[in-house]
C-alpha cells in the first residue's frame, strides 16, 4: 500500500476545491493508498480521517503539494533529507516545477497510484555564515540563495570569491546564487541565463549592479561561492528560496555550496523541460 502525504497551501482559496477532488478520487481506493496530512490542516480542510499527529516523522512514499512552485519547494526541503520524492499540483501563476495542472488532476493521480512517473534529482545548495568568529549553517535552497538589501538600505558593497580565488567587488542591490533549477526564478528576472536543470552548475547573478563588469556567471556545482559583506553598516538579508530569511552583519562571510543530498521531484514522461519552457514562458507561441 502506498502512503501519500498532502501539503496544501492554506492561503490559496483553490486548495479547498482541489482537496475535495482528491478526497473524492481516493474514496474508493482505500485498499491501495493511505492519505495523510497534518491533523490541524486536515481538520481545516474538513478531512479529519487524513489527520495524523507527527507528519514530519511519518513513513511516506511521496509528498503531494497543492499550490505553486513555492509550496512545492517548501515540501521538497522538508522531504529531501529523507530521500522522499515530491510532486506538485499547480494552482499558482507559472509553475515550472509543479507538474500537475488542474485540467489533468485525476489522470495524474492515476499515474501516481500506478507508479507511472519518473523521479528526477535536483541540486540543493546550502548556505552558512561566518559571523563574529563563529560559523553556522543557516539553511538550504533548491532554487536560490539571495543576499539582498533590506527595505531602507542603500546599495550594498560585497566581495566575491570562488574557492578562495578573488573574483570581483560588487556595488549592487545584492547577488543571487542559484541552482540550474532556479535559473527560471529570480535569477531570470535579474538577467541571468536559462540553464537546463540537468546541468551540474551554479549561477551567480548580480542584482542591479552599479558597474558594467559585473556580469552573470555559470560555475561547476562542486565549487564554493564566498561572499564577503563590507564592514560598514548595511541592512542585509540572506534568503533561501524566498521563504526563509536571516539578518547578516557587517563583516560577515557567507559560504554557498552544493549540499550533500539532492531533492527528488516527480515528473511525468509525456512532458519535457523544453515543452514546459514554451508553455510557461512563451505561451506555446514559438
**Known catalytic residues?**
69
For residues 113 and 32, give the distance between their C-alpha atoms in angstroms, rounded to a whole number.
8
Do 175 and 204 contact (CB within 8 A), yes or no?
yes
For residues 42 and 194, give the distance between their C-alpha atoms in angstroms, rounded to a whole number.
38
Buried b (16+ CB within 10 A) or exposed e, 45-76: bebeebbeeebeeeebebbbbbbbbbbbbbbb
- Say whether 13 sits in a helix, a strand or coil: coil
186 in a labelled binding site: yes
185 in a labelled binding site: yes
243 in a labelled binding site: yes
> How many helices, marked H, and strands, marked E, lie in the chain?
6, 19
214 in a labelled binding site: no
73 in a labelled binding site: no
181 in a labelled binding site: no
Do 143 and 244 contact (CB within 8 A), yes or no?
no
132 in a labelled binding site: no
234 in a labelled binding site: no
Instruction: List the binding residues for NAD(+).
Output: 69-70, 143-144, 154, 171, 173, 184-189, 243
Instruction: List the binding residues.
Output: 69-70, 143-144, 154, 171, 173, 184-189, 243
Amino acid at each position: 500500500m502506498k502512503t501519500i502525504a498532502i501539503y496544501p497551501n492554506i492561503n490559496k482559496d483553490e486548495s479547498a476545491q482541489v482537496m475535495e477532488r482528491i478526497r473524492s478520487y481516493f474514496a474508493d481506493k482505500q485498499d491501495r493508498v493511505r492519505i495523510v496530512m497534518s491533523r490541524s490542516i486536515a481538520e481545516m480542510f474538513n478531512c479529519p480521517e487524513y489527520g495524523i499527529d507527527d507528519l514530519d516523522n511519518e513513513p511516506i512514499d511521496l509528498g503531494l503539494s497543492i499550490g505553486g512552485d513555492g509550496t512545492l519547494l517548501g515540501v521538497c526541503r522538508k522531504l529531501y533529507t529523507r530521500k522522499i520524492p515530491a510532486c506538485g499540483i499547480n494552482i499558482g501563476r507559472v509553475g515550472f516545477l509543479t507538474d500537475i495542472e488542474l485540467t489533468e488532476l485525476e489522470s495524474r493521480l492515476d499515474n501516481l497510484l500506478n507508479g507511472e512517473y519518473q523521479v528526477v534529482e535536483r541540486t540543493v545548495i546550502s548556505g552558512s555564515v561566518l559571523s563574529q568568529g563563529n560559523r553556522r549553517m543557516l539553511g538550504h535552497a533548491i532554487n536560490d540563495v539571495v543576499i539582498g538589501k533590506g527595505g531602507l538600505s542603500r546599495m550594498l558593497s560585497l566581495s566575491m570569491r570562488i574557492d578562495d580565488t578573488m573574483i570581483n567587488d560588487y556595488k549592487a542591490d545584492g547577488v543571487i546564487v542559484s541552482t540550474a533549477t532556479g535559473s527560471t526564478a529570480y535569477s531570470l528576472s535579474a538577467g541571468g541565463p536559462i540553464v537546463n536543470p540537468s546541468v551540474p552548475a551554479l549561477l551567480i547573478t548580480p542584482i542591479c549592479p552599479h558597474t558594467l563588469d559585473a556580469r552573470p556567471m555559470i560555475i561547476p556545482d562542486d565549487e564554493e561561492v564566498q561572499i564577503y559583506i563590507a564592514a560598514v553598516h548595511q541592512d542585509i538579508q540572506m534568503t533561501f528560496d524566498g521563504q526563509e530569511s536571516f539578518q547578516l552583519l557587517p563583516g560577515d562571510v557567507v559560504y554557498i555550496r552544493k549540499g550533500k543530498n539532492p531533492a527528488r521531484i516527480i515528473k511525468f514522461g509525456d512532458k519535457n523541460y523544453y515543452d514546459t519552457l514554451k508553455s510557461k514562458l512563451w505561451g506555446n507561441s514559438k
